[in-house]
Amino acid sequence: MATSDPRFSLPLAWWWVLLLAAAAKLAGADDPYRYFDWTVTYGPINPLGTTQQGILINGQFPGPRIDCVTNDNLIVNVVNNLDEPFLITWNGIKQRKNSWQDGVAGTNCPIPPGANYTYKFQAKDQIGTFTYFPSVALHRAAGGFGALNVYQRPAIPVPYPAPDGDFTLLVGDWYLAGHDQLRQTLDSGAPLPFPDALLVNGMPSDIFVGDQGRTYLFRVSNVGMKTSINFRIQGHSLRLAEVEGTHPVQNVYDSLDVHVGQSVAFLVTLDQPPMDYAVVASTRFNPDSTSALTSIGMLHYSSATSRAPGPLPEGPETADWSMNQARSFRWNLTASAARPNPQGSFHYGTIQTSRTLVFASSPPVVVAGQNRYAVNGISFVVPDTPLKLVDTYNIANVIGWDSVPPRPDGGAPQLGTPVVRLNLHEFVEVVFQNTESEMQSWHLDGYDFWAVGYGNGQWTENERPNYNLVDAQARHTVQVYPNGWSAILVSLDNQGMWNLRSANWDRQYLGQQLYLRVWTPEQSFSNEYSIPTNAILCGKAAEYAH
Ligand SMILES: *[C@@H]1O[C@H](CO)[C@@H](O)[C@H](O)[C@H]1NC(C)=O
Ligand SMILES: *[C@@H]1O[C@H](CO)[C@@H](O)[C@H](O)[C@H]1NC(C)=O
């Protein structure tokens, strides 16, 4: 590390004190450890009846489910037996003080073929439904994703009676074409084709078995490439119970929209005559009305001998319906989250914002001969050295510091590697402006944020009086409606290098992403852990030792 850097100007003796304190903290001395050994391979799968090449973890598609408890230490050794570099990210796990374990190309070197990397992180202060997935290339289109459920510690009450069981559903659009073929399609400047199917847990549909009179928690995550879904169960209502690690007001819905990268959990009481009921997921915001994809599974009452009569439940039609549903999601102010204090004891609506960032998507543009997506005109190019390593070792000429304008400025689209510099403990307003007719979804690593407003058309400052500054839903991925906007407020309390990206994977792959560096000059291990001893060093960082 460069001793001339003011961030590293503490006397040497202090470094040891802080290092030991951090080591004790990192180890979470009292918290249990869970060890996982994962081997990633190609292997045949046939979710649609024809064999295709999948990405398997320990032979499984989807990958193994992780069940853990808040603050557990997860030690996941990933052996990459593909013929390409590979990396896994933990979607929605906040990686407190620890962007080192985030597993995206801006923080970690991909694991080379034949090599391994051991992730070490804590599911800190979170309860809920999360996922993991491959973050580089288009590997996600071939598998390698799975569920990560974090249960509460015994001392922490959740605002609903313990369900009689829970079901985990990974729902996503699916292609018969392989990830390499889809990558070639995008690299050649063509759009992704319309997906071939909607899969639930790696199958065209799944069956859920329960007893009449009992209540089950359904955890639904959209692990697809780019398509929003709607989820519903014939004859049953869905009581919303958890949204991406926070507790909402438990509204009852006939159906729920789940956009790419998002997760919701809801309670379903088997209060109908004992029969089999259709469990329906269908794609939303389709390019035309005939192209919807549907998965029809089954909720089987254990004593049932026949199918429930009547038509399948219909999905909603309009974007307005979806936007109204989004606005109806409210934070339960009196419920606790992973800590005993109520969620509402943090009055986010009273905090002065320190700045506003307006990030506008731009339609596909040709930059340097390639078809690209951009944010405020800058299309992100993944550098060969992760930005976190570049920053740590002060490597020059990689990062475009603050090179994305804070608002769209109409400049000609160009390639870049923008990192926005923000100060630890800033409170920031971010507006996502969708200028296209396609549904979008935006994810921020390292955080959840309050989704305070959704609207149509062009966002202006005049929208602020309509923000929900009292009980907006906190989440890590927000949808942005076609030709509309979504506004979020985020409290930057987690130091690190964090990916802000389109969760629509074609857009992310073609440059619709950037990084935020949340930082303070008072460098200390109580703000951020130091580089892990097993960190893979690559690119311009390969020559450094740690
Ligand atoms: C690879 O796995 C071994 C244990 O099998 C572990 O000691 C080593 O730290 C791992 N490598 C990395 C880079 O994490
Ligand atoms: C909010 O949480 C409280 C505390 O756990 C719970 O008693 C209440 O039912 C919840 N309210 C709603 C509307 O979901």
Say which residues have a Cβ less than 8 Å from residue 226's Cβ, sequence separation at least 6: 173, 192, 195, 260, 504, 505, 506, 507
Residue nearest ligand 1's atom 5 by CA: 77
Enumerate residues lining ligand 1, CB below 6 A: 77, 116-118, 534, 536
CA distance 324 to 91: 26
Q: What burial letters (b/e) apply to 499-538, b meaning 16+ CB within 10 Å?
A: bbbbbbbbbbbbbbbbbbbbbeeebebebbbbbbeebbbb
For ligand 2, what atom is nearest to the CA of residue 248? 14
Q: Which one of the ligands is nearest to 332 CA?
A: 2
Pocket test for ligand 2, best of 127, 239, 250 (most atoms within 8 A of CB): 250
End-to-end CA distance of the chain: 9
- pLDDT on residue 546: 74
Instruction: Select 166-328's CATH number: 3.90.1300.10, 3.40.50.300, 1.10.1740.10, 2.60.40.420.
Output: 2.60.40.420
CA distance 192 to 140: 14
Ligand 2 midpoint to CA 481 (Å): 30
Residue 80 in 3-state DSSP? strand
Tokens of 365: 């543009």
CA distance 184 to 138: 10
Write down the H helix ranges in 167-315. 179-187
Token pair 């690690």 is at which residue?
245
Q: How far from 200 is each of 5, 85, 303, 406, CA to CA, in Å?
A: 50, 27, 24, 39
* 62 cis-preceded (ω within 30 degrees of 0): yes
For ligand 1, what atom is nearest to the CA of residue 111? 13
Tokens of 399: 């990062």
For ligand 2, what atom is nearest to the CA of residue 157? 5
Residue extents of the structural domains in the chain: 33-148, 166-328, 348-544
Report CA torsion sign: 453, 455, 460, 466.
Answer: negative
Q: Are 224 and 195 in contact (CB under 8 A)?
A: yes
Q: Which one of the ligands is nearest to 532 CA?
A: 1
Neighbours of 184 (CB within 10 A): 13
Q: In what order do the strands lie in the sheet with 294-301?
A: 207-210, 294-301, 276-283, 229-233, 255-258
Say which residues have a Cβ less than 8 Å from residue 181's Cβ, sequence separation at least 6: none
Q: Which one of the ligands is nearest to 115 CA?
A: 1
C-alpha closest to that of 233 among 206, 202, 261: 206
Q: Which one of the ligands is nearest to 159 CA?
A: 2
CA distance 127 to 150: 5
Name the pTM for this structure. Answer: 0.94
CA distance 120 to 127: 18
Architecture of the CATH domain 33-148: Sandwich (2.60)
Q: Which one of the ligands is nearest to 117 CA?
A: 1
**3-state DSSP helix/strand/coil % of the chain, to nearest 5:** 15, 40, 50
The helix (run of H) or strand (run of E) holding residue 360 is: strand 355-367
CA distance 51 to 371: 31
| Domain 348-544 superfamily per CATH | Cupredoxins -  blue copper proteins (2.60.40.420)
CA distance 389 to 395: 8
CA distance 418 to 392: 16
Write down the H helix ranges in 272-406. 319-328, 387-392
Q: Are 233 and 301 in contact (CB under 8 A)?
A: no
Ligand 2 midpoint to CA 149 (Å): 22
Ligand 2 midpoint to CA 509 (Å): 40
Digit-coded pLDDT (tens) for 276-305: 999 999 999 887 767 789 999 999 999 999
Say which residues have a Cβ less than 8 Å from residue 19's Cβ, sequence separation at least 6: 525, 530
For ligand 2, what atom is nearest to the CA of residue 250? 14
Neighbours of 161 (CB within 10 A): 8
Tokens of 88: 């896994």
Ligand 2 midpoint to CA 336 (Å): 9
Q: What is the β-pairing status of strands 484-491 and 427-433? A: antiparallel
Ligand 2 midpoint to CA 131 (Å): 26
Residue nearest ligand 2's atom 7 by CA: 159
**Angle, CA 528 vertex, CA 522 and CA 531 arms, to 5°:** 115
Pocket test for ligand 2, best of 328, 329, 334 (most atoms within 8 A of CB): 334
Ligand 2 midpoint to CA 249 (Å): 7
Residue 89 in 3-state DSSP? strand
Ligand 2 midpoint to CA 267 (Å): 14
Tokens of 521: 């000059």
- pLDDT on residue 5: 35
Pocket test for ligand 1, best of 77, 531, 536 (most atoms within 8 A of CB): 77
Residue nearest ligand 1's atom 12 by CA: 117
**Ranges under pLDDT 50 in the chain:** 1-27
Q: Which one of the ligands is nearest to 76 CA?
A: 1
Digit-coded pLDDT (tens) for 150-200: 999 988 889 999 999 999 999 999 999 999 999 999 999 999 999 999 999
Residue nearest ligand 1's atom 7 by CA: 118
